[in-house]
Amino acid sequence: MKEKLKLIKDRNQRSKQELKINSLEKELNEFVEINLQRLDPIADWLKDGIEKWIEVFLKNRIIFRIYPFESCPSFQVFCNLKSKCFLDQEVEHFFCSYGFRPNIKLSAFGLITSIPSKNGISFDPLREFQNKEILSDKMKFESAFRKIFQAMDNIEDFSRYSRYPNITIYPIAIYRDLRLDIKNNDPK
């Protein structure tokens, strides 16, 4: 309505429309305020659990997600950025400059580290222990120890979001691609 308001030439009609918009905004603000009071606060145990999850699995992690094709948002490229590699190492400056959803096209150059298969895990390193009839105590301990780390990997998968058809890369550089039209001296 505000965008259409700019197109109205007649002062009287524009004034009527402004009054209508102001009335709707006031109504909406009152509705939100009344309903916010009705909401139950988030339980402390849930806040503590989310905080602990972030502290354990996402601490100091900056995940950069690239959508190479607007027509296919299910295909994404993930990068785990290192703040010490930023030109300005203060993460707050990075988010202040680009926001959490940059609206400019950024490109990443890196090594592909994961291409998940359609069917899930393609290789199980613990399979070596499955077909042995008798395991020595040392092998049992090794198997149990490695299963603990596999369990941790499975839990961390909830925070990694690496699934088919997404690709994970080890970023070497992230940059904004600028193209200059030399003839017209016009950046595109």
pLDDT digits (tens, 9 = 90+) for 12-71: 888 888 998 899 999 988 888 887 777 777 788 888 888 888 887 777 777 778 888 888
Residue with tokens 């941790």: 152
Backbone angles phi, psi at 12, to 5 degrees: -65, -45
Across 9-13, 36-40, 91-95, least confident range: 91-95
Q: What is the pLDDT of residues 138-163, one digit of tens each?
A: 888 888 888 888 887 777 777 766 77
pLDDT band (50, 70, 90) for residue 121: low
Residue ranges of domains in the chain = 2-38, 62-187
pLDDT band (50, 70, 90) for residue 87: low
Across 17-31, 60-74, 94-108, 115-129, least confident range: 94-108
Burial class (CB in 10 A: 0-12, 13-18, 19+), 79: buried
Q: Measured between alpha carbons, how far is 109 from 176 in angstroms, rounded to an integer?
A: 11
pLDDT of residue 92: 67
